[in-house]
Amino acid sequence: MKKMFTMLLMALLPLGAMAQNKSSRTVQAAKQEPITQVIERGLKRAASQSLLLANSMKNHPDQLPQTYEHGELKTVRYDNWVSGFFPGVLWMLYDYTNDEQYRRLAHHFTEIVEPAKKLYNTHDIGFMLYCSFGQGYNLTAKQYYLDVIYEGTQNLLCRWNEDLGVFRSWDFGKQWQYPVIIDNMMNLEILCFMSRQYDDPYYKEVAEIHAKNTLKHHFRDDFSSYHVVSYDTITGLPHAKNTAQGYSDNSAWARGQSWGLYGFTMIYRETRNPIFLEQARNIATFLMNHPRLPADKVPYWDYDAPGTENGNCLRDASAAAIMASALIELSQFDRTEMGPKWMELAEQQIRTLTSPAYLAEEGEQGGFILKHGVGNMPAKNEVDVPLTYADYYYVEALMRLKRLQSPALNGGGQGSGQASRP
Ligand code: GLY
């Protein structure tokens, strides 16, 4: 009898444990803030913080915000790679609020970036002009914005090497013959935009060749990527694979991995070439399954940096924001069982970024939105600070989510996710 009772108890125990697990999951789910509320909270904070930042910029005419360090606002000129992000944030907030005040501010800061159209010594024309003038054009259809993009893109084309099939990233670094960084994938979007606007396939053709060569030479077997690949101008093959901002040549620098994920998702959207979707899925799988991706899904600044094994390492909010925005778009293209999983991961990241651990309090951080970014750890530059590009991709991710929650809103600017419709 006693034996029978013990057997019955043992048979029922797992059911009891399951029921307990289920009920604690139900309580957890019931306690979780609805994602629509998270999105609104994030966007409202972004809107109020950005007004504060715009106001402090009055003391820095002709400059754009970069970061806030040791209680001090740091700004840059139009020719810094980050110049277009704050105007872009303001455009997206104009899209969100429909409030003229944001349009005026967005236009004002966009104008400051205008001289960047004359630059021919950087590949970052895409970041500078597409995030500012591109956002402005997509929302207002103002010809002047398109004209600036046109001029800037002609200079970007000067960096195209027909024989190598890539755009040159940097003009510095004597050890490199023809350096291309993974970030450069992001500068292909402005080229695809040009093809659409001017009905000229050339821009997109060269963008696609660059993406194919990046796919071939930048990735390791596990789908992590090198930061810098330099091409031998005689053989056309890589002669060096290094890092500049990561922990080591062979490590997975977190923001670089996010640029790759975003870049291949975007180039798939623009070309519909399935090899790019496959590459984006492979990168996303590497990141999602990474043993050192923390439970709250905000990556360490480098997946291989010392301290990642015991949680004693700085996070990079910008890597999380870029990754979340990319995953939201990828989730719409990927028709396999992984589609909803990309979205789930992105939502987890957005929830973490919208928590007090990362979201600046009202009036905090000089008006920047997110805390805890890492710009350039090896150079000890911008370490554990807000970053204007972390804010940009965070707001973009929120707007993309918002569009998906309320499809009736579709038809806004690029940051709204409109361009990301499959
Ligand atoms: N493109 C430079 C960076 O990601 O820091």
pLDDT of 407 strictly over 90:
no
Task: Tell me what pLDDT residue 18 has.
Answer: 44
Radius of gyration of the chain (CA): 22
pLDDT 10s digits, 207-217:
999 999 999 99
Task: Tell me what pLDDT residue 415 has.
Answer: 43
Task: Tell me what pLDDT residue 272 has.
Answer: 98
- Ligand 1 atom nearest 186 alpha carbon: 1
Task: Tell me what pLDDT residue 5 has.
Answer: 46
Q: Is the C-beta atom of 392 inside 6 A of ligand 1?
A: no
Catalytic residue among 95, 124, 316, 334: 124
What is the mean pLDDT of the segment spanning 327-336? 98
What is the mean pLDDT of the segment spanning 282-306? 98
pLDDT 10s digits, 41-99:
999 999 999 999 999 999 999 999 999 999 999 999 999 999 999 999 999 999 999 99
What is the mean pLDDT of the segment spanning 264-286? 98
Task: Tell me what pLDDT residue 27 has.
Answer: 53
Q: Is the C-beta atom of 255 inside 6 A of ligand 1?
A: yes
Enumerate the β-bridge partners of residue 67. Answer: 74
Q: Given pLDDT bands bounded at 50, 70 and 90, which one contains residue 20?
A: very low
Going by CA atoms, what residue is nearest to atom 2 of ligand 1? 183
- HSE of 212 in the Cβ direction (CA atoms, 13 Å)? 12
Going by CA atoms, what residue is nearest to atom 5 of ligand 1? 375
Average pLDDT along the chain: 92
* DSSP string over 359-401: BPPTT-GGG-SB--EEEETTTTEEEEE--HHHHHHHHHHHHHH
For 173, the token pair is 């670094």
Q: Is the C-beta atom of 133 inside 6 A of ligand 1?
A: no
Give this prediction's pTM. Answer: 0.91
Domains of the chain, first to last: 34-405 (1.50.10.10)
- Identify whether the C-beta of residue 241 lies closer than 8 Å to the C-beta of residue 232: no
Going by CA atoms, what residue is nearest to atom 1 of ligand 1? 183
Annotation says 183 is catalytic: yes
- Ligand 1 atom nearest 389 alpha carbon: 4
* DSSP string over 292-351: TS-TT---BSBTTSTTTTTT-S-B-HHHHHHHHHHHHHHHHH--STTHHHHHHHHHHHHH
- Ligand 1 atom nearest 255 alpha carbon: 4
